[in-house]
């Protein structure tokens, strides 16, 4: 879809040349950098700012606090490999991810189960499209992680996790309005215990991309992600 954008104070009308119709008005925030203009829906900017505040504020504020009986904070890194099965566009991507894992009630000041954690993570990598083009893909988000104590042994520590974030893809599938989208994820993993608490892990996730209905076109992408990594 080819669009022209007409900017008027804080509202924007999008004109679809193919359908010969205008869409809007939408509340937008207008950015200018050198010779480039960037116009984003106001709701997207708000969501991005909230996510950025959660990701960057939590580690800074928590580092200034004492342990106070909380489970020690851990950091980790992983390599994520994924295949997009819906739509069947033969898209796959590979990312490197870094994350911090906090005691859940250290972040959110209310009583929480002892086996519940709060994960803040970011990932960057590249996607290979069906025409063999290679494009940037980057995301950041937060997840709740629940250890399955009933199934823990001397060697393994299984867990479930789920959360949401934002993602940028330097490509769009047919029927997708934006490159910035929401990114819900959910998965199951297993930690393999090692000395010094430097556990290794494997993880299988369901990975979704969509704009949450903020755009007129919202063809989502669904992928399966396999990851392996280590705490340090």
CATH number of the CATH domain containing 116 = 2.40.160.20
Question: What is the average per-residue pLDDT within 12-23?
Answer: 46
H or E element, residue 141? strand 134-147
pLDDT the model gives residue 137 = 96
pLDDT the model gives residue 207 = 97
pLDDT the model gives residue 139 = 97
pLDDT the model gives residue 208 = 96
In 3D, which of 84, 87, 117 has the Cα closest to residue 99?
117
pLDDT the model gives residue 49 = 57
- Residue with the larger pLDDT of the pair 27 and 79: 79
Taking only the tens place, the pLDDT of each residue in 63-112 is 444 456 789 999 999 999 999 999 876 899 999 999 999 999 999 988 88
Average pLDDT, the chain: 80
pLDDT the model gives residue 203 = 98
User: Count of domains in the chain?
Assistant: 1
191 CA to centre of own chain:
22
Taking only the tens place, the pLDDT of each residue in 143-166 is 999 999 999 999 999 999 999 999
Q: What secondary structure letter does DSSP report for 18?
A: T
| 207 occurs within a structural domain | yes
pLDDT the model gives residue 110 = 83
Strands 200-209 and 36-41: unpaired
User: Domain limits at 227?
Assistant: 69-231
């Amino acid at each position: 879809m080819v669009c022209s954008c007409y900017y008027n104070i804080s509202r924007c009308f999008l004109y679809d040349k193919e359908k010969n119709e205008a869409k809007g008005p939408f509340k937008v925030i207008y950015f200018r950098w050198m010779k480039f203009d960037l116009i984003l829906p106001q709701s997207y900017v708000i969501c991005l700012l909230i996510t950025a505040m959660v990701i960057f504020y939590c580690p800074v504020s928590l580092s200034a606090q004492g342990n106070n009986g909380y489970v020690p904070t851990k950091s980790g890194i992983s390599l994520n490999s994924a295949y997009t099965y819906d739509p069947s566009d033969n898209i796959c991507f590979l990312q490197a991810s870094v994350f911090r894992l906090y005691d859940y009630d250290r972040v959110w000041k209310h009583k929480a189960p002892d086996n519940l954690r709060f994960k803040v993570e970011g990932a960057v990598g590249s996607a290979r499209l069906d025409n063999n083009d290679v494009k940037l893909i980057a995301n950041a988000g937060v997840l709740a992680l629940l250890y399955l104590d009933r199934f823990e042994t001397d060697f393994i520590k299984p867990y479930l996790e789920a959360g949401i974030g934002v993602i940028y893809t330097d490509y769009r599938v047919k029927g997708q309005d934006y490159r910035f989208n929401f990114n819900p994820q959910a998965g199951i993993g297993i930690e393999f215990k090692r000395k010094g608490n430097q556990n290794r892990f494997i993880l299988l996730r369901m990975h979704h991309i969509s704009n949450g209905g903020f755009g007129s076109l919202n063809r989502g992408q669904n992928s399966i992600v396999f990851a392996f990594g280590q705490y340090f």
